[in-house]
Amino acid sequence: MAKAGGFFFLVFGIIAIISAIATINPIWALGPYRPDQVSTGAQPDWYMGFAEGLVRVMPGWEIVFWGHTLNLGVFIPLVLFGLVLSLPAVYPFLESWITGDKREHHILDR
């Protein structure tokens, strides 16, 4: 018990010394917090982060097609998002077709 307690105080002391000396992320160097200066007021939920990121990265391209303006800055990311989501869904069928393996696989039944 004394050995574990001594090790605890040793680790605590080292962490206290490091935290007193080292600065990991000086957020005060970035300036004052001003939420009105953010580029966009939208903050996506965690499950929409990838789709929101695709829309933000895409430039605002527009084309006129049969008298209608198509906003490619939204259309292309949504198509890419659909492709990315469909790849894991199609992969098992594609793998069984390529390898020719049509057996059932119960990995936990060993």
Buried residues in 94-110 as b, exposed as e (16+ CB within 10 A): eeeeeeeeeeeeeeeee
E-assigned strands of the chain? 62-65, 68-71
Instruction: Please give the structure tokens belonging to residue 52.
Output: 């929101």
Q: Phi and psi of 43, rounded to 5°?
A: -130, 110
Question: Which pTM value belongs to this model?
Answer: 0.47
Q: What is the mean pLDDT of residues 25-46?
A: 71
Query: With pLDDT > 70 as the criterion, what percentage of the chain qualifies?
Result: 89
Q: Could you tell me the residue ranges of all domains in the chain?
A: 2-109
Per-residue pLDDT reduced to its tens digit, 73-107: 888 888 888 898 999 999 999 999 999 888 887 77
